[in-house]
């Protein structure tokens, strides 16, 4: 192919040279911005299990009797496989009344004494709680009752008034 450019408008020559360059280079494809991959489920090592006590609230004043506890769990599947082998990302919840949650790695999160329960549910009721200041702790545990690699515990403190007492 041969092209002869003589005389004429310099802008026409520039456009012609650009057109020839595109022909020689084989044209150009339109620009396409890179597309980020769609987010998928987090890898188990990236998951950060968490638990929080929804009720009773921190500092609540309640009447003596049954105290229902409700928790919220994230990045952890609550299952009824208590006593089975540990499986990453699943297990159950231990509820403790006036007992610190045991968090020794590899040892079952079971206190030597005190009131506690292991439950495959996000709620539990402590029965006949008397007046005074109380603490509830909840802990996410593996199927075999051991704490998670990074222990996950939430705690609230509340006051219970005698039945017929005044809430403040």
Q: What domains appear along the chain, each with residue ranges and CATH number?
A: 49-161 (2.60.40.10)
User: pLDDT tens digits, residue range 157-167?
Assistant: 999 998 765 55
**Residue 47 pLDDT:** 76
Does pTM surpass 0.75? Answer: no
User: pLDDT tens digits, residue range 17-35?
Assistant: 555 555 555 555 554 556 6
Instruction: Decide: residue 104, CB within 10 A, 0-12 exposed, 13-18 middle, 19+ buried.
Output: exposed
| First-residue to last-residue Cα distance in the chain | 96
How far apart, in whole angstroms, are the C-alpha atoms of residue 151 and residue 105? Answer: 8
How far apart, in whole angstroms, are the C-alpha atoms of residue 124 and residue 140? Answer: 14
C-alpha atoms less than 13 angstroms from C-alpha of 112 in its C-beta half-sphere: 1
């Amino acid at each position: 192919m041969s092209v002869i450019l003589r005389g004429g408008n310099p802008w026409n020559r520039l456009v012609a040279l650009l057109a020839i360059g595109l022909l020689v280079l084989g044209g150009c494809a339109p620009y396409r911005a890179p597309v980020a991959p769609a987010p998928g489920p987090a890898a188990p090592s990236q998951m950060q299990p968490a638990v929080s006590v929804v009720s009773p609230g921190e500092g609540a004043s309640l009447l003596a009797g049954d105290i229902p506890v409700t928790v919220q769990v994230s990045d952890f599947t609550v299952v009824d496989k208590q006593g089975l082998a540990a499986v990453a990302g699943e297990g159950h919840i231990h509820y403790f009344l006036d007992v610190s949650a045991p968090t020794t790695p590899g040892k079952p999160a079971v206190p030597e004494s005190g009131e506690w329960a292991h439950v495959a549910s996000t709620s539990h009721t402590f029965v006949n709680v008397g007046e005074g200041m109380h603490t509830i702790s909840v802990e996410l545990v593996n199927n075999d009752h051991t704490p998670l690699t990074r222990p996950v515990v939430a705690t609230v403190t509340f006051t219970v008034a005698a039945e017929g007492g005044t809430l403040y």
